[in-house]
Chain A
């Protein structure tokens, strides 16, 4: 990803909208007994699109904003989200993503990892609870929901950051050249033919 200041603004907007959507919409829903969480989804998506550094920085920033707005312990979400953002970015840098199902699958798996990591940190920080089946179910269902939500959200975020994504820019240039020349060819023919027909029919 080529991060210019304009793209930086777009990324910031994506993150703010994601936090607002999460706090004001998704957190109120209960699907399969748990709450969908799009914050790890956004961190992983940004990592997949922008690489390890973008993923880590965006994950950290997302976590900071989330913890600040919820007046929760600062740094907990940042630590988890920067890790999943970084891992997603490393995966993207090392592997070509050719299968369209790969990003949602990766988002699902990394969301599960984020949820498990968050639980582990909470337990280490002294939240008195036991590792019950309900917590394991929560981790699994959050991953499943993230996989399902990634199907519309991943292309949407990719579209929002399209001008910065190197693959899309290169593919766009390749696509543009033959289409333009073909279009020019089609446009020229009627211009040349029309006067000839008119001349032949004696109108001009």
Chain B
């Protein structure tokens, strides 16, 4: 009797392990419209209204817990912010002068004033779920193909670039954040314009690195980094040019290296996302699948 139980237990374990391994390899090998993805999207569609309800219902409790932990952090941030304010005041004066100049030049050249997302239709979406592990920097939003959301649509919020849509169901979508290990965004530093690739720093998803910036390029702390909207005619970035990404925090130049290490602080706070905007129905970008 006992031996039979042991045999059954081992058989169940082996079956489950094999099933898990089959699922892993099948998910990787199968296309987005394959049967496993369909099952996955079905489960996600069933759960998305429940997640939305739970997210709304639990918001006060979440805010309370976060308020407590943020109060502890606020003391340290206060002195840092005071120094930032002093720096920003001097920069504001320069920026206001530059804005006036910019306005005049735009009028002269009759440039498009629609901003970075001109030609897109923004869809506002609520963040309904987040993964529990640092390995996935993704969020689920409550807008899907039914709202016009498509694969690779750029996602922003009031602060700047958030990421892009990496999977879509009818009612919800998965957004891969720019801090995800798989993400890389073509970016340029303002105002001088050297271009590189913004990626998350290994092991610390809250900081980004701007790679491939030649060490001869002068880059200083506080410079703004925006999307470059790079394209060579056959392939291009999923993001249009001019969406703010972050601010240069630190630059270091190694003697043996060709490129300098530029660390960025993303403008958007990826840990506290409630609402985002998905830029849908944008102009066709070569090499970017929809």
Q: Please give the residue numbers on chain A whose beta carbons come within 8 Å of chain B beta carbons, in ascending order.
A: 16, 19-31, 34-39, 52-53, 56-57, 60, 63-76, 78-79, 82, 86, 115, 118-119, 122, 125, 127-135, 138
Nearest 4 pairs between A and B by C-beta? A75-B23, A132-B203, A68-B43, A27-B130
B58 touches A25 (CB 8 A): yes
Number of A-B contacts (CB under 8 A): 165
CB-based contact A74/B40 at 8 Å: yes
Binding-face segment, B59-67, B244-252, B276-284: B59-67
Residues of B within 8 A of A23 (CB): 51, 54, 128-132, 140
Q: A28-B272, A35-B133, A71-B166 are in contact. List 14 more A-B contacts (CB 8 A).
A: A16-B50, A23-B128, A27-B129, A27-B131, A37-B132, A53-B9, A56-B13, A66-B132, A69-B51, A69-B140, A71-B174, A78-B19, A119-B135, A135-B203
Q: List B contacts of A52 (CB < 8 A).
A: 9, 13
Residue pairs across A and B with Cβ atoms less than 8 A apart, 24 shown, are A23-B131, A28-B130, A28-B272, A29-B69, A35-B134, A37-B133, A52-B9, A65-B47, A68-B39, A68-B40, A69-B47, A70-B136, A70-B138, A70-B174, A71-B138, A75-B27, A78-B19, A78-B23, A79-B21, A119-B135, A127-B181, A132-B203, A133-B203, A134-B134
Cβ-defined partner of B16 (8 Å) among A29, A56, A76 = A56
CA A21 – CA B50 in complex, angstroms? 10
Residues of A within 8 A of B203 (CB): 129-135
Across-interface contacts of B136 in A (CB, < 8 A): 70, 72
Decide: B26 and A74 in contact? CB cutoff 8 A.
yes
Interface residues of B (CB under 8 A from A): 8-9, 12-13, 16-17, 19-24, 26-28, 36, 39-41, 43-44, 47-48, 50-51, 54-55, 58, 61-62, 65-66, 69, 128-136, 138, 140, 166-167, 169, 174, 181-182, 202-204, 271-272
* Contact A24-B16, Cβ < 8 Å, known A70-B136, A73-B28, A74-B26: no
What separation, in Å, do the CA atoms of A127 and B134 have in the docked complex?
A: 12
Query: Distance (Å) between the CB of B178 and the closest chain A CB?
Result: 15
